[in-house]
Structure 1
């Protein structure tokens, strides 16, 4: 599978972009979650070959992208970054997929730029999940109690195993490889802006916290919501509310998957995404 990496200056920050597949194929942009990174979508990118050009990027403050010195980790900033990416890569019309925080960003972007999004996939995100779910409480607790460094790789592995007990050891190690960096004095620290992201998530500016329901109503494209069957974040009633707000929304529950559906059940996740994006499509790639 062809892979390309580059760094683009978007919204004044250097953001690391990864692409998989033929550059002339149908484009799909993928947005990771709050502590995620572009590489998390390598599996689904491979599953979509040879029909798709998959574009993912380390969102501001994560991976190999710049940290925002102003701790501007709000939806409007992420959406502006995505619009800048689309302009820089010449993506006039593309599919969009987002997980968790990335799903929130994708919903708002699709509502704001309906002419640009062909089809939308939302992985375990929706109105109410960010604010009121057991998963939101869990994520806030995790952020507040996560160490800022580890004495050894083994210590970090133990922490990740406790945090993500249901994923495979291979998936945990991939996460650590993408989320940690060595310290000069020994040990490891996070590759993402833990302090800045924690500050924004735990003590947000209330004027910048987005209400997703108007954006859900405004989505103009076919949309698939993928929920983990044992997710503590997006609840069935929330999915039902999304369908009530917009008849273009359909949903699939992936059994035996938690909030990280693409990690817990990769084969089922990849098949659902591929089937939805390819269904009844006879259009030529942009």
Structure 2
């Protein structure tokens, strides 16, 4: 599978972008969660070959992208980043997938730009989940309690095992490699802006909040909501509310998966995504170089 890594600049920040697949494939852009990174989508990218050009980027403050010196980690800013990156890549229209925080950003973008999003996939996110779910409270507890430093790689691995017990060891190690960097003394610290991200998540600015119910009602494209059967973040009643708000929303539940569906059940997640995209092909066929 062909892979390309490069950087784009927007608002004075560098954004690390990863692409998988041929350049002429159907474009699908993927947005990770609050402590995520572009590499988390490598598995689903492989499942979408050879038809798709999969594009993911480290959102501001994460991975190899720059940290925001003003800690502007809000939905409207993330959406502006996506607008700029899609423009720089000359993506007039594309499919869009978002997990958790990325799902919120994807809903906001699709509502704002209905002419650009052909199909939308929301992984374990929706109205009420960010504010009222046990998963939201869990994430806040984790942000408060997360160590800023690990003396050894094994210490970091043990922390990740406690944090993500349902995720396989290979996925956990991939996550650590993408999230950690060497400290000057040989230990390890976070590659993402933990302090800034935690501050905006734990003390959100009410003026920057978004009404996801209203945004969901404005979506005009076919939309798939994927919920983990064991998710503590997106509850079944929240999914039902999304479907009541918008008849274009179709929902599936993947059993034995928590909030990180694409990590917990990668094959089942990929199968649902491929099935949805295959059932809603509305674009002209494209040939790979």
Q: TM-score range by the shorter chain?
A: over 0.9
Pair 270,8 (structure 1): closer, same or farther in 2 beyond 3 Å: same
> Which residue of the partner structure matches residue 81 of structure 1?
81
Matched, 1:231 2:231: yes
Question: Residue 262 of structure 1: CA displacement?
Answer: 0.1
Question: Residue 284 of structure 1: CA displacement?
Answer: 1.7
Q: Distance in 1 between the 2:185 and 2:285 partners? A: 50
SS of equivalent residue, structure 1 residue 119: strand
How big is each residue's C-alpha offset from its partner over 1:187-221, in whole Å with a ceiling of 9 and x where there is no partner?
10000000000000001111001110110000000
| TM-score normalised by the chain length of structure 2 | 0.98
Q: Is the 8 A contact 1:27 1:285 kept in 2?
A: no
How big is each residue's C-alpha offset from its partner over 1:261-285, in whole Å with a ceiling of 9 and x where there is no partner?
0000000000100111121425225
Correspondences of 1:183-202 after superposition (within 5 Å):
183-202=183-202
Matched, 1:263 2:289: no
Q: Is the 8 A contact 1:32 1:38 kept in 2?
A: yes
> Which residue of the partner structure matches residue 126 of structure 2?
126
Matched, 1:4 2:27: no
SS of equivalent residue, structure 2 residue 97: strand
Root-mean-square deviation (CA, aligned residues, Å) is: 0.8
> Which residue of the partner structure matches residue 179 of structure 2?
179
Q: Distance in 2 between the 1:116 and 1:73 partners? A: 24
Q: Distance in 2 between the 1:261 and 1:280 partners? A: 22
Q: Distance in 1 between the 2:117 and 2:283 partners? A: 14
SS of equivalent residue, structure 2 residue 281: coil
Q: Is the 8 A contact 2:222 2:280 kept in 1?
A: no
> Which residue of the partner structure matches residue 219 of structure 1?
219
> Which residue of the partner structure matches residue 29 of structure 1?
29
Question: Residue 157 of structure 1: CA displacement?
Answer: 0.4
> Which residue of the partner structure matches residue 244 of structure 2?
244
SS of equivalent residue, structure 2 residue 65: coil
State the aligned residue count.
Answer: 286
SS of equivalent residue, structure 2 residue 79: helix
> Which residue of the partner structure matches residue 163 of structure 1?
163
Question: Residue 185 of structure 1: CA displacement?
Answer: 1.3
In structure 1, the gaps of 5 or more residues are none
Q: Distance in 1 between the 2:61 and 2:80 partners? A: 15
Q: Distance in 2 between the 1:215 and 1:91 partners? A: 22
> Which residue of the partner structure matches residue 43 of structure 1?
43
Q: Is the 8 A contact 1:26 1:284 kept in 2?
A: no
SS of equivalent residue, structure 1 residue 275: helix
> Which residue of the partner structure matches residue 71 of structure 2?
71
After superposing on structure 2, the runs of 4+ consecutive aligned residues of structure 1 that deviate more than 3 Å are none
| TM-score normalised by the chain length of structure 1 | 0.99
> Which residue of the partner structure matches residue 277 of structure 2?
277
Q: Is the 8 A contact 1:135 1:232 kept in 2?
A: yes
How big is each residue's C-alpha offset from its partner over 1:34-76, in whole Å with a ceiling of 9 and x where there is no partner?
0000000000000000010000000000000000000000000
> Which residue of the partner structure matches residue 140 of structure 1?
140
SS of equivalent residue, structure 1 residue 29: strand
